[in-house]
Amino acid sequence: MVLYNSSSSHTALVITDASIKKDITTSISHVHIGNRLLTKTVHHALFVTSTKAELFTIRCGINQACSNEIVFKIIVVTDSIHAARKIFDSNFHPFQLHSAVILRELQDFFNSNPNNSIEFWECPSHLKWRLHHDIDKDSKSFHPIPFYPCKIS
């Protein structure tokens, strides 16, 4: 299914991952269109929960995919499907800021063409699917170097 969808020039394959090491979160998203890497986004943040990091990474990937006018279908591949579900949770939760931004992007995406679609696929890290495994490995390979080592507890 991935080969079929990723070969289309109208489908954006958004692959995301985040990891936390020594209170530093590394969030990475790759956007593939037409079987080629379009963008790679890497962010680092301090003292962020894993769910917030995953939502931020999904948000960045969706933003990149929606900004491409030829994309009619977005497939988000993540190992944190529980975080992706928060996007569509209308109850009050601490991640509503990310949810609101993602939903606003998607509203514009769907208004531009009623045939546009989005899918969320779960890819657990233990499956070691090549595209997700590369991102997972990158997110875990970051070695933080503190600027002020005396302030690290």
- pLDDT tens, position by position, 63-106: 999 988 889 999 999 888 888 888 887 776 777 888 888 899 99
26-30 own/partner pairs: CB under 8 Å, 24+ apart: 26/138, 26/139, 26/140, 26/142, 27/53, 27/54, 27/56, 27/57, 27/60, 27/139, 28/57, 28/135, 28/138, 28/139, 29/57, 29/58, 29/60, 29/61, 29/64, 29/135, 30/61, 30/131, 30/134, 30/135
Domain ranges of the chain: 2-151
If pLDDT is split at 50, 70 and 90, which confidence band does 1 have?
low
- Per-residue pLDDT reduced to its tens digit, 108-130: 999 999 999 999 998 877 777 77
CATH architecture of 2-151: 2-Layer Sandwich (3.30)
User: What is the pLDDT at residue 64?
Assistant: 92
Q: What is the mean pLDDT of the chain?
A: 82
